[in-house]
Amino acid sequence: AQTVTQSQPEMSVQEAETVTLSCTYDTSESNYYLFWYKQPPSRQMILVIRQEAYKQQNATENRFSVNFQKAAKSFSLKISDSQLGDTAMYFCAFMKHVTGAGSYQLTFGKGTKLSVIP
Amino acid sequence: NAGVTQTPKFQVLKTGQSMTLQCAQDMNHNSMYWYRQDPGMGLRLIYYSASEGTTDKGEVPNGYNVSRLNKREFSLRLESAAPSQTSVYFCASRTGGRASYEQYFGPGTRLTVT
């Protein structure tokens, strides 16, 4: 079974600064996908960024980027130029690659509550 | 295009009551999922339906049943609600196939069992 660990229950950052959220995972799989989801107070789950494990290049989406270290099983999220709208819970999630019919289920960490301070 | 919709948004039940949470998607997705989110926890998979006509248990299926009514709709039923089922429930859907791994989530249903 896979496990996902987010060691920072809460973090805060000044507006316009940069913050990094940590995530580690444990798996015996070699092919898998990793995700960061954002959950604002509205409760809506919003996909922020995804990374395929077979890709060495770190994913980037505008102000969001990841540092994917496959050997260390680490997948951190960097938010640059933090904005007030970035205030939310952030969940790291793992999905193993499935060769046939299967669940493609997501395994989530417990989340990091990020507050952006004006 | 509404994406994934869930009804109701909020519900309060007494212990032993039953209810069905409804989920529908208009994206023609093959796979649908039910997750629950408890305080201080990430989402955990209850049941999923890889395609119309099939359903399978996830990580925490006890106390729940599901029905994949058609390709659009996937309902979650609590036959005899218990306080331990107080949670926020999310439905999600996915296109299907090996290359389509992104899941799209509904807005959630907050359920309280007293």
Report, as an integer, the average pLDDT of B14-22: 97
Given CA atoms A49, A52, A55, A56 in this order, what sign does their dihedral have?
A: positive
Q: How many CB atoms lie within 10 A of CB A4?
A: 22
Residues of A within 8 A of B48 (CB-CB) are 103, 105
Give tens-digit pLDDT for A56-98: 899 999 999 999 999 999 999 999 999 999 999 999 999 986 6
Looking at residue A101, its pLDDT comes to 59
Looking at residue B71, its pLDDT comes to 94
Whether omega before B8 lies within 30 degrees of 0, making that bond cis, reads: yes
Report, as an integer, the average pLDDT of B78-86: 96
Strand partners for A72: none
Structure tokens at B27: 């994206």
Looking at residue A100, its pLDDT comes to 59
Q: Is the pLDDT of residue A8 over 80?
A: yes
Residues of B within 8 A of A44 (CB-CB) are 105, 107-108
Q: How far apart are CA B104 and CA B69, in angstroms?
A: 19
Give tens-digit pLDDT for B58-73: 889 999 999 998 999 9
Phi-psi bin for B16: left (phi > 0), alpha (psi -120 to 50), beta? left
Give tens-digit pLDDT for B39-49: 888 899 999 99
Three-state SS for A104?
coil
> Residue B96: pLDDT band by 50, 70, 90 thresholds?
low
Contact at CB, A106 and B58, closer than 8 angstroms: no
Q: Is the pLDDT of residue A43 over 70?
A: yes
**B47 to chain A: closest CA residue:** A103
- Helix (H) / strand (E) element for B23: namely strand B19-25
Q: List phi, psi (to 5°) of B83.
A: -55, -30
Residues of B within 8 A of A109 (CB-CB) are 42
Contact B96, B31 (CB under 8 A): yes
Structure tokens at A55: 């890709």
Contact at CB, A110 and B90, closer than 8 angstroms: no
> Residue A117: pLDDT band by 50, 70, 90 thresholds?
very high
